[in-house]
Amino acid sequence: MDPRVSLSALCYYTTPLPDFIDELKRQGVGTTTLMAGPISEFGVEQTRDLLDSAGITVAALIPGLPVDLADPATWDSKRAELTDTIDIAVALGVPAVYTVSGSLVVDEDTSVAAFKSYIEPVVAYANAAGIKFLIEPTLPVYAFVSFVYTLKTYLRLAQECNVGLCLDVYHVWEDPDLERVLRDHIDLVGLVQIGDSQRDSDGNLQKQIPGEGNVGIAELTARIVDAGYRGAFDLEIDGPFIESVGVTESTERAVAYMQRALTAAPLVAS
């Protein structure tokens, strides 16, 4: 299995950590992203031993729910949660932590200023620890956790707040600034997440098994590799369609597809 193929624990978010690691081993996947909460519950040293014995590499850690930017009284506790996650990353040798921005506060200018005030000490802590701190852009449907709906807003956030990018193609594959990011800012990308989509019978966007929807994952993978990205491609799939197929079958098909896409990617140039 190509070590760049990663399967996120978010695909199996109710599965106990040891059982999820067993599932990775069964599928032959050697890379993952993990939630910090289950690691704390299971034990950091125990998790390290489990990962080492299984030969699993962790590309990034995911903290809990995002901050409420509109309520500064809550910021210290959320900062502590993020720095705890960074400490876990250091202990496990994980290179990155990613999260979302928090919801909109009045307008973009106010939100960026609030996020900068909130995140500056966390980013400084991460930099001192040698951990990449990444923000994930989202679709407007996730406005309750993020005001970063476009790569244009993200690039502003990156420049003003010194954060990197978790590039979730499910959220940005149609963004008009994607080519510019790949051409000029690939160095900001610390993790690529893979999700596919398709409209359901009511016209609503639903996550689909990668390679079986509308996104064109293989072409995007080739373009990202060609731009110079050498990190993990993290499969994060969930939702009603995935549940109807079954998480295990869905992830197996997704893993097989990403293996094929990455095998072909070096043969395609921009």
Residues 6+ apart with CB under 8 A from 90: 129, 130, 131
How do residues 157-215 score in pLDDT, each as one tens digit? Answer: 999 999 999 999 999 999 999 999 999 999 999 999 999 988 766 767 788 999 999 89
Q: Is the pLDDT score of 270 beyond 50? A: no
User: Residue 214 belongs to a domain with what CATH number?
Assistant: 3.20.20.150
Determine the 3-state secondary structure of 67 from DSSP. Answer: coil
Q: How confident is the model at residue 141 (pLDDT cuts 50, 70, 90)?
A: confident
Report field, pTM of the whole predicted structure over 0.85: yes
Cβ atoms < 10 Å from Cβ of 174: 11
Q: Which two tokens stand for residue 100?
A: 């979302």
Q: What's residue 239's pLDDT?
A: 86
Least confident of 52-61, 141-150, 187-196: 141-150
* Domain count of the fold of the chain: 1
Structural domain boundaries, residue 75 = 5-267
Q: Is the pLDDT score of 268 beyond 70? A: no
Number of helices followed by number of strands (H, E) in the chain: 11, 10
Count of alpha carbons within 13 Å of 212, Cβ hemisphere only? 16
